[in-house]
Amino acid sequence: MATATRNPIRIGRYEIIGVIGRGSRGTVYKAIDPHTRRAVAIKVLTSAFSEDDSLPRFYREAKYAGSLQHQNIVRLYELGNQNGFPYVVMEYLEGWGLDAVIGSTPLSIGGKLHIMVQVCGGLQFAHDRGIVHRDIKPANIVILPDGTAKIVDFGTAYIGGSHVSRPTMVMGNIFYMSPEQLEGKADLDCRTDIFSAGVVLFQLLTGALPFQGQDTRSTQLKILNDPAPCVGKYLSDVPSDLQPIIEKAMAKRREDRYSSARELGFELTRLQQQLSRAGVDLHLQRASGHIEGRDLNAAKQALIDALRVDPGHSEAKQRLRKVQEALDLQERKQAALELRSQAEQAMTERRFEQARSLADKALQLQPNDTGLLKLREAVQNRHKSTETYNTALDRAAAALNAGALDPAKQAIEDAVRVQALDSRGLGLARRIAERVEEQSREGRAAEQTKQVVIATNAVEKAIADARMFLSFNQRQEAREALVSAMSSALRVPVDLRRKFEALGRELEREPQIEDSLPDRSPDGRSLGSPTANELFSAPQALGPEVGREPKPGSIVPPRFEAMPTWRTPDPPEQRDIPEELREFLPPPRRGWGRLLAGTLVLVLAASAGYLIFLPQPKHVVKSLPPQPAPAPQVQYAEINAEPWGTVTSITSRTDQSVIKPNEVTPARISLAPGAYDVTVTGPAGQTRTVEIQVPQPPGQRCFVVFTKPDLAKIVNAQSAH
């Protein structure tokens, strides 16, 4: 017969995965059944034996072992031939050979006895069908992961009172052979397997072979002549009934052994039960101690050990179930505690969705935990308050950007009522406070500017009144006009105050004015005899910043410069008065002609002395007369209402925008170049609208004069002098 292929891809319909093992008689492969996708083991006969010796025995093994359907015997599925090489398909066993378990896996005595009880059960099933295995040894016993023992390899089996090997051939491993096998007796029976099972039991318990010499001959002699060794030499604290069982199983004479594998299994089961009761009680005591010490894991292990000794022990099962429930509860508590810690951390970091999810998971493990219920409620409340807080901050930011400081401050207060300000809230509060302070400073500056303008108006009016009275030689009235504006003069710019002081000194140089001045001002204040320098020596009031151009449309205080010199009007005769002044004259009265004529003559004579200070009473926009100095480089017009009127509106003819000046007069308003309509209102409610043109740079200064001079008063006052 040819040699089998070392690495076939397929045997029959089975797909080869790998090699399980090789022996002298054949090779065992692991394969997959393509129909069921079940793993199988395929044993292929090789050419190690002649065809006459191997094939009949191989086929008989397949025939008779295939009929052994027992939980402790490997199952055979199919017999076949691959290119002249016979093979048998059998159950694939995931486990370990007993030879690998001996000495490497710690097993209790009861566990070892339990393995041998299963081996006896499988042997009894085969013996009942006339099959003697003849090669019982640890390598032919496979232990599955669940502890089940299975007998394999019936290739040397003695079947039906005959065998297929030659009578003189010794089959099996010498260390496990019975004396009758060594003697080559043909009439072998089940007691041969019982002897081999006793040897396996001894080796499983002690880890040593009972009959082992220095060579094959000495080993054979020990098997034939020496009694079974004492187990006590290898083990301590062993049951007293164990040694007699081993001695009877390995008796030299077949008649002295157990008559069946069932009888040996029964003795081992009885001993196992005794050991189980003692072992289970010991493990239960250990479990109780661990439970009292709250070491549930150790208690669980002790109960598992008890069930290994006696898998059917009801008390051990019940206690293990309770311990497992306690462990599960403990694990759930620990897991819930970890989830709670993570949820609290997430809430601290304001990851509220994650915190709520973690709290919900913890509550799934511990539904009735009040701490977890409070934690979830706290997360929800904190989430809601944070949303309210963020909404308030958003409102504050929007109001701040819109310049609405009061709503912005209210929004910050709403946020503070919810929770303490964070970095964003503190930044917003700081910006709002800065804007409030800036607005306050602007308000104070505007108020100061307003006061300066009001004071300037009062001083300018007093100077104009005083000059008018001086032009008619009414010094007492001129001084009264100056005294009425004395407090305002302390707040005006230095140039205007110098004009005010100069006019006062001019009054002092006139003795008759000093004699005519009253002791007290019209408001009751004592005038005494202070000089003009003493009266006007107060510190200068703050004025507008120098060198800064005003923004278009902004109201600015006047630039206090020397008043322009206007042309002197014609003498006030009816026919000589200019057309633009006649509207201010009172209607003519009968009987006053001569007095009026004389008065007009005096007015004409004195006009050169006083009209130099009198502005032209005309409601038109006039340019300043040429000055020796170059025109100022400005981009705005100065609309000077003079002291007796108010600018009420300025309308742009370009885009119809309207500027509403405030109550401060005279008003100097920065205007962009273009045409404007200026509406002015006098003290008696009379209004005029004049047109002005603001030129492109460098530009020029423009003044609007809309006063109604009382010419009759002027003429009468002049006539009196």
Q: What is the mean pLDDT of the chain?
A: 75
Domain check: are 118 and 176 in the same one?
A: yes
Domain check: are 87 and 126 in the same one?
A: no
Domain check: are 588 and 642 in the same one?
A: yes
Q: Give how far Cα 649 sits from Cα of 425, 451, 701, Å.
A: 44, 21, 19
> Does residue 309 sit within a domain?
no
pLDDT tens, 320-334?
898 888 888 888 888
pLDDT computed for residue 683 by the predictor: 61
Q: If you average pLDDT over residues 621-625, what whole number do you get? A: 39
- Least trusted range by pLDDT, from 11-15, 28-32, 168-172, 459-463: 168-172
Residues 386 and 415: beta-carbon distance below 8 Å = no
Domain check: are 715 and 650 in the same one?
A: yes
Domain check: are 207 and 228 in the same one?
A: yes
d(CA 666, CA 457): 6
Q: Percentage of residues in the chain with pLDDT exceeding 90?
A: 18
Q: Percentage of residues in the chain with pLDDT exceeding 70?
A: 70
> Does residue 52 sit within a domain?
yes
pLDDT computed for residue 382 by the predictor: 85
> Does residue 385 sit within a domain?
no
- Least trusted range by pLDDT, from 306-310, 326-330, 602-606, 639-643: 602-606
Domain check: are 592 and 638 in the same one?
A: yes
Q: Which amino acid is at 311?
A: P
pLDDT computed for residue 716 by the predictor: 52
**How many independent structural domains does the chain possess?**
3
Q: What is the CATH number of the domain that holds 21?
A: 3.30.200.20
d(CA 384, CA 507): 79
276 pLDDT above the threshold of 70: yes
Non-local CB neighbours of 31 within 8 Å, separated by 6+ positions: 11, 14, 15, 16, 17, 39, 40, 41, 42, 89
> Does residue 371 sit within a domain?
no
Cis peptide before 698 (omega within 30 of 0): yes
> Does residue 338 sit within a domain?
no
Determine if residue 161 is left, alpha or beta; phi over 0 gives left, psi from -120 to 50 gives alpha, anything else beta.
Answer: left
pLDDT computed for residue 614 by the predictor: 42
Domain check: are 124 and 32 in the same one?
A: no
- Least trusted range by pLDDT, from 74-83, 425-434, 494-503, 561-570: 561-570
Domain check: are 198 and 127 in the same one?
A: yes
Domain check: are 716 and 613 in the same one?
A: yes
pLDDT tier, 461 (very low <50, low <70, confident <90, very high otherwise) = confident
Q: Tokens in use for 604? A: 């004409």
**Domain finish residue from 265, 299, 331:** 265
Closest by Cα among 20, 31, 17 to 89: 31
The edge-to-edge listing of strands for the beta sheet with 26-32 is 10-11, 14-22, 26-32, 39-45, 85-91, 76-82
> Does residue 301 sit within a domain?
no
Q: If you average pLDDT over residues 516-525, what whole number do you get? A: 44
96 pLDDT above the threshold of 80: yes
**Domain finish residue from 235, 265, 295:** 265
699 pLDDT above the threshold of 80: no
Q: What's the chain's Rg over C-alpha atoms?
A: 65
Give residue 654's domain range. 569-721
Identity of the highest mean pLDDT range in 43-57, 94-108, 540-554, 613-627: 94-108
pLDDT computed for residue 155 by the predictor: 66
More confident residue, 115 or 512: 115
Q: Where are the beta strands (DSSP E) in 564-669?
A: 621-623, 646-652, 658-659, 668-669
- Least trusted range by pLDDT, from 17-21, 313-317, 384-388: 313-317
Domain check: are 74 and 106 in the same one?
A: no
169 pLDDT above the threshold of 80: no
pLDDT tier, 634 (very low <50, low <70, confident <90, very high otherwise) = very low
- With 0-12 / 13-18 / 19 or more C-beta atoms within 10 angstroms meaning exposed / middle / buried, residue 214 is exposed
Sign of dihedral through CA atoms 464, 465, 468, 469?
negative
Q: If you average pLDDT over residues 424-433, what whole number do you get? A: 90
> Does residue 281 sit within a domain?
no
Sign of dihedral through CA atoms 516, 517, 523, 527?
negative
**Domain finish residue from 265, 296, 317:** 265
- Least trusted range by pLDDT, from 18-22, 222-226, 254-258: 18-22
Domain check: are 576 and 698 in the same one?
A: yes
Q: What pairs with residue 651 in β-bridges?
A: 658, 677
pLDDT computed for residue 532 by the predictor: 34
Domain check: are 215 and 101 in the same one?
A: yes
> Does residue 536 sit within a domain?
no
pLDDT tens, 475-510?
888 888 889 888 888 888 899 899 999 988 888 875
